[in-house]
Each structure stands twice: as structure tokens, then as C-alpha cells.
Amino acid sequence: MEHHQTVPRVEGFPPETLLQLYHNLLLPRLIEEQMLNLLRQGKISKWFSGIGQEAIAVGVTAALRDDDVLLPMLRNLGVFTTRDVGLPQLFRQLFGREGGFTHGRDRSFHFGSWKHRIVGMISHLGAMLPVADGIALASSLRGEDRVTAAFTGDGASSEGDFHEALNLAAVWKLPVLFVVENNQYALSTPVAEQYACRHLADRGAGYGMPSEIIDGNDVLAVFRAVQAAAERARQGGGPTLLEFLTFRMRGHEEASGTDYVPPALLENWRERDPIRRFEIALDEAGLLDDAERQRIRHEIGQHIRNLIDDALAAPIPDSTPQRELAAVFAPSQPGSTAPRAAGDTREQRYVDAIRDALGIALERDARVILLGQDIAEYGGAFKVSAGLLEAHGKQRVRNTPLIESGAIGAAIGLALDGFVPMVEIQFADFISCGFNQIVNNLAKTYYRWGAHVPVVIRAPVGGGMGAGPFHSQNVESWFTAVAGLKIVAPSTPYDAKGLLLAAFEDGNPVLFLEHKALYRSESGAVPRGHYTLPIGKARIAREGRDASIITYGVGVRWACAAADRLASEGREIEVVDLRSLQPWDIESVVDSVKKTSRALVLHEAPRTSGFGAEVTATLQTEAFEWLDAPVGRVGSLDTPVPFAKSLEKVHSAQGQLLESIRALLEY
């Protein structure tokens, strides 16, 4: 489609709708003009301008129903104003004042308001597109005809999340509108250097979804296209890729400038200004003359100035360390829940206990949805989910394409809309492909704007199976420094079942680490039915008096075996099973060390920067006066996990344990 200036066609729109659209277009423009003045005055530090692009945000929002969900980006002020989120609170948010949507914890449009069905962005472009899939899946599962619209730019269309989100939406025929604002430049890189296809909409055919190219500076063209795509989605027609041609009239942010843009190109697009074009159309239709335009501008402008004065006078957010720490996690259910009938147990393997927990979670809570590669008919890479498809159906036990980031993003969307999703990562090593979604999106959402995201991520970890560098890693230290993420690493079938059920009920993101070597080699008595164990509480796996080994996962088996060996020599070693790494039970660990006066921290992950360093540092301060020796630390060699079992034995921490505990006892 060749882009040329035309006056929007007003046929088919009632006069009151046209005038409301004009008001909706003008409001964000006048706000932005004031924000640019404030930027020049030094009253705000940064602004990402959407001047010249208002028709897309306004047209998309106006064409959708109030219960449809929008995922805007940083230039989509018109989404928030058209949805009428409340300008007093919005200005406080923009100025980082008390009373904003994030309480000063995040900036500008990095927030959501589920009451208004808006989910805000994170800085990592493309990341919110899979979230839109999850929200759309939630509406489909409920049988609602609601639509989700996700905004992105031409630059972000190069991101992997763009592909994963569009592919998933097409495969599952989700009611998603992918709104691409093609404003010709990604910061300073022109579209000619971003993609080789003629139009971004050309990609729709490759995904098996309809696509369209629309004049993004014609608010009525935007409205019509979105309304048609939304109706198709409501009727079960699946997603649509909408490419809106527009232009970013100012820099990526104001400090960037536009020196890299040819002046003639700027002038060409200035003539296509969406507000001016709409004013001409309204004037020709006899709906808006110059005097009325001036009156409306003055009225809106004065209202904006009053709101800005009020927001700038609001207090700067104040807090305490305790209050900020309390805001990281949503309130969770404390303590544990006992089995229905005490003593009613059966012998189960570690893998069976996890499967049992998944089945109980599905039975007890209709909101639980399982996602993952090959988890349905195949039963998962390790057959953990075998039989669950037959018991609960494909709506709730869902194979995903090969998309770690997309699957986790979709789980975030499901969780935002009231579901409790679980994502299985085939091997924990592959979790790196979803790292951004976990650490920057999932873990930070509740702290930023108070939205609950109860997502469980199961990941098989560990070596000992001759699987080589990419199927044997322990990944806990990649995540233990991430605020907002709980991490569990059970060592027994009893703990695995109780802690997994607790993870589903906790109300927060939980990373559940299952050691592959324990799946079919570790057995024990497991209560039938439902019970939970408290996340963040350690257990004493073996009582002792001479030294404490603090460990988790497969390390508990190694530590207990070493303790058995030393018991024959008259030494009694206490083994503390952390069970949870974030939060971890400092009190129980310190109490054990007070009793034994010696401590050794053990984990299978490489020693350097492993989680054991955190435990060791804590003991040096919290238990120093009770220590009779320096805290020992045993981890695997600082090498990738080798393939040959003979080399893996050299790499593994297991071979160092007995010598290290003897050295500690002899200190």
C-alpha cells in the first residue's frame, strides 16, 4: 500500500463518536506538549514522545470494548487517557510522586491497572507479546469473547519474543491483535536495516494469520481495522497482525534528537499529522470549526495545567527497608497443611510424588494450567506428567511449541488474569532461553504494581547421568539473587510433593528445582492426598553433634552417605536440608551450627559464586562466636559439566565431600 495523505472518511460514524475521538486524540497531544515544557524546565528527567502517533493508541483503544485487554508501550499515552485511568493518579505516576500506580517503584508507563484492563510494559522490548497470549488464552478457557491487543514497534519485531508470541497465538488460534507501530526508526536504526521483507505485515502469512497494512495517522482507518480484526477474533478466527504506518516525530527520547532523520522526511510526515487531518475532516463535515477547536484546546489545556500543578505538589514517595522488603512478595499462605489422614502413606518414588502433586493441584483448583514442551501425550521428557492429559484434558495439560520465553510469558498472562499456571522446562539448562521473562518480568511484577503472578516453573537440574554440558547444570545461583522469585529444591519424595503443592498455593512465582538423579532412585513414604510444607523452612535430615553439613537436593543424599561412613568412625554428623533457597531458613542453620560448632556447605553446582557462598557468609556473621573452625565449602569444579562419566566424576563435588568433612573435623 502506498502511503499518502488523505482526509479520514467520516461516513458511518455518529457525530458524537467523531467528537469524542477528537477529544481523545487531542488530550494526549496537549499532555505531551506540557511534558516537553517540563522537561526543558528540568522538572522531569526523561520523556518518550508519541507526538504524531496518537491515532494508533487512541484508535485501537476506542475500537475495543472496555473489557478487552491492552498491553501498551512507552509512546502509547493515548491508551491510558482513552481508557480514562484517572489523570490525577496518572500524572503522579509520570512525575514519580506519591499516589501513582507504582508508589515510585517504576517509571512512566511501566505499570498496569487490571481494573482498566491495561498491562504495562517492561523495558525489554517484545517481552509483553507472549504475556498477551496468556491473557488471550485465559479468556478462551473461560469461553469469553474478549480480545487482547498488544502493542510493539518495528524495532521490537526483530526480537525473539515477537516470533514466539505470534507463532503461539497462531497455533492456539488465540484472540490477539498484534499492533505494530511502524514509525520507521528503532532509536536511530531505519527499518531498512531492521528487516528485509517489504512490509512487516508480510510475516502474517508465514505464521498462518491474516495481516493488514493501515495508515496509522488516520484514526478512523485505525478504528475500522481494529474493529474488524477484533470481531474476527471474537468469532474464533484467531490472531491478526496489524501494521500501522506512522512516524516518530521526535527522538527515541528527547536527549536522542532527530539529527539522523532527513529533514525532508520529517516535513513530509509533519504534513500528515493525525490531529490536523482529523480536524480537516470534522471541519468539512460541519462538526468542528476553528472557534470550537480553540475552545476545546483551551479547556483541556487548563485542566491539564491544574492537574500538573497538583501532581508536582504531591509528596515524593517515602518508605522504609521493611516496607520495601514486604512489597516484594504477595502475601502467601503461612505454615503447612497436614495430610487428611495422618499415617495414611504409600511408598513413592520422587518422580511419582511430583506427578501426584500435579494431579492433586489440577483436581483441587480449576485455575491450574500446565504448560510445557511434550508434556501432554508424551508425558514430558522424564514422564513426570504421564497420565495427566487423560485425566484432565488438553485444555489444562498443554503442549507448547519450542518456546521457553514464550511459554513463561504466556504463563505470566494467565496468572495476571486469575489462573495458576505451571511451566515445565525440559532441562533446567534451557531455562536460559526464558531468563528475561523470569528475572525482569515475572519476578518484578508484584513489587512494581501489585499484580499477582502465581507462576510455578519446574526445572529438572543436575548431573551424574553422563549428559554433558547442556543437560546437567545446576542453575540455582543464576536466580537466588533475583528479588521476587521463590526457589525450592527438595531432596525427598515427601518434600517434593508437599513443597510443590505449597508452590501452587503460595501466590507468588516459584522456581521448583527437581534433581534428575533422584527421579527414580529416591523413594520414601508419602502421605496420600493433599498436604503442604512451608516454603522457606529447612529440616534436619540427620541428627549429629560433631559438625553440620548444610545442603539441598542431591547433596542431601551425598551428605547422609558421608555421615553414615563417619558414624562407623565414631563421628556424628548433622545434615541440614535447606529445601528452600529463597527464602532460606537462616535460623535453623544457625541453630544447628551452634550445636555442632563446625559447618560445611555443600552443593553440586560449581563452587565459585554458588549459593553456598551466601550460606557461608551468613554463618560467618550470625554464628561466628560458636564456630571452632572456618566454615567449609564444597562445590563442583569451576568447569562446564563434562560428558564422559569418568570426567564428570572428577568434576563433581561428591568426590571431595568426605575428605573435606574430615579436614573440618580435624581443624
Cα gap 516→350, rounded to integer Å: 9
Cα gap 91→108, rounded to integer Å: 9
Cα gap 519→347, rounded to integer Å: 14
> CB–CB of 530/500 below 8 Å?
no
Q: Which residues contact 411 (CB under 8 A, 6 or more apart)?
A: 134, 371, 421, 422, 423, 442, 455, 457
Q: Which residues contact 312 (CB under 8 A, 6 or more apart)?
A: 43, 95, 97
SS (H, E, C) 493-542: HHHHHHHHHHHHHHCCCEEEEEEHHHCCCCEEEEECCCCECCCCCCEEEE
Cα gap 350→605, rounded to integer Å: 21
Cα gap 443→449, rounded to integer Å: 12
Closest Cα partner for 412 from 446, 372, 370, 454?
454
CA geometry: angle at 141 spanning 138 and 145, to 5°?
80
Cα gap 497→503, rounded to integer Å: 10
Cα gap 199→203, rounded to integer Å: 8
Cα gap 32→38, rounded to integer Å: 10
φ, ψ of residue 563 to 5 degrees: the values are -65, -40
- Block residue for cell numbers 523495558: 123
**Helical pair 87-94 and 290-313, crossing angle rounded to 10 deg:** 60
Q: Which residues contact 265 (CB under 8 A, 6 or more apart)?
A: 184, 247
CA geometry: angle at 41 spanning 39 and 42, to 5°?
65
Residue 471 known to be catalytic: yes
> CB–CB of 209/240 below 8 Å?
yes
Q: Which helix (H) or strand (E) segment is 420 a member of?
A: strand 420-424
- Block residue for cell numbers 534451557: 430
Which one is catalytic: 471, 515, 530, 603? 471
Cα gap 558→374, rounded to integer Å: 32
Sign of CA dihedral 284, 287, 289, 294: negative
Q: Which residues contact 600 (CB under 8 A, 6 or more apart)?
A: 547, 548, 549, 550, 631, 632, 633, 634, 660, 661, 664
> CB–CB of 260/253 below 8 Å?
no
Cα gap 380→388, rounded to integer Å: 10
CA 589 to chain centre: 32
**Helical pair 54-63 and 274-284, crossing angle rounded to 10 deg:** 60
Q: Which residues contact 186 (CB under 8 A, 6 or more apart)?
A: 153, 154, 155, 156, 158, 194
Q: Which helix (H) or strand (E) segment is 581 a member of?
A: strand 580-582
Which residues are annotated as catalytic?
471
